[in-house]
Amino acid sequence: MLVLLNDGIRYDGFQCLRIEDIRSMRPDPRAAFFKAALRQRGLRRPRRPRVSLERTADMVATAGRAFPLVTIHREEVDPSCCWIGRVIDVRRGRVSLLELDPMARWESEPTAHRLSELTRLDVG
């Protein structure tokens, strides 16, 4: 689970990635600047939410309990899309998500997404 910073150098939620998708990591060369900016603003690193990272199903279910909205990504299915909504249920290898449409209106019925297709989950 990663803590995200936005372009304004403010904390902006958390991101969960699949370990198998990470090929390499390196520190950001601007890390010292970011830390100084956060410190000057009096911003502290947010506490890690109670989201299980043991299995994808557990991660999605606990994220759904910890946050009113989640964003899921299925980058191998469609790298240009994400799905934002409320987790309704997680079972039989699927997550049921009551989604927000592009106009921020609730869809009338939940949509099921295969957990095996999830590549990323954003919350916060």
- Provide, rounded to the nearest whole percent, the portion of the chain with pLDDT above 70: 100
Give residue 13's pLDDT. Answer: 98
Residue type, 76: E
pLDDT (mean) for 20-34: 94
Average pLDDT value over all residues in the chain:
97
Give residue 50's pLDDT. Answer: 95
Is the dihedral angle over the CA atoms 116, 51, 92, 73 positive or is it negative? negative
What is the model's pTM? Answer: 0.90
What does the domain layout of the chain look like in residue ranges? 2-123
pLDDT (mean) for 50-75: 97
Pairwise CA distance, residues 1 & 52, whole Å: 10
Give residue 71's pLDDT. Answer: 99
